Each structure stands twice: as C-alpha cells, then as structure tokens.
C-alpha cells in the first residue's frame, strides 16, 4: 500500500491541531489564585467566602460571577 502525499499532509495537520490544543491553558490555570493571606487561608467552606464576597459584602463578586456558580474553590485554587 502506497501512502499519498495528501494522506501524509492530513496526518501531519491533524497531529499539529491535537498538539496545539494540548498546550492551550485550561480555564482553571488562567483564574486568579486565592490570596495567601491569613483571612483567606482560614476559610474552610463556601459560606465563609460568601460572607465577604456576596452582593452586600465588603468585596462583592464581579458582575460576571453573579449568574454563574458560587463554589469559589472549584475555579480558584489556594496558593
């Protein structure tokens, strides 16, 4: 069986696409980390996050977070 140039080109192009997608950062890697200060390191559950980061809290969540999930540790990792 003889390999055609078009087939070889397709295989190389497919490998380039797969390799390119593999090196893209995940959304989790692009999210900011939870600060390493005493206040944030003491947080043990979601309720403690929302005590400061609710709509009426000291540091309310940005608009883009209000319609999404509120489980901070799922997207933001501790330092």
Terminal CA-CA length for the chain: 55
**Per-residue buried b or exposed e for 15-40, using 16+ beta carbons within 10 Å of the residue's own CB:** eeeeeeeeeeeeeeeeeeebeeeeeb
Please provide residue 37's backbone torsions phi and psi, each rounded to the nearest 5 degrees.
-90, 170
Task: Evaluate whether 33 touches 70 at the Cβ level (below 8 Å).
Answer: no
- For the chain, the domain total comes to 1
- Structural domain span for residue 21: 5-75
The confidence score (pLDDT) of residue 68 equals: 62
Taking the chain (79 residues) in consecutive chunks of 10 residues, what is each chunk's mean pLDDT?
A: 89 95 78 85 83 84 71 77
pTM above 0.75, yes or no: no
């Amino acid at each position: 069986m003889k390999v055609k140039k078009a087939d070889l080109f397709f295989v190389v192009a497919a490998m380039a696409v797969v390799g390119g997608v593999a090196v893209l950062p995940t959304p989790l890697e692009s999210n900011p980390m939870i600060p390493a200060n005493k206040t944030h390191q003491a947080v043990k559950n979601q309720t403690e996050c929302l005590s400061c980061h609710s709509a009426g809290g000291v540091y309310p969540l940005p608009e883009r977070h209000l319609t999404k999930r509120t489980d901070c540790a799922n997207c933001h990792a501790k330092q």
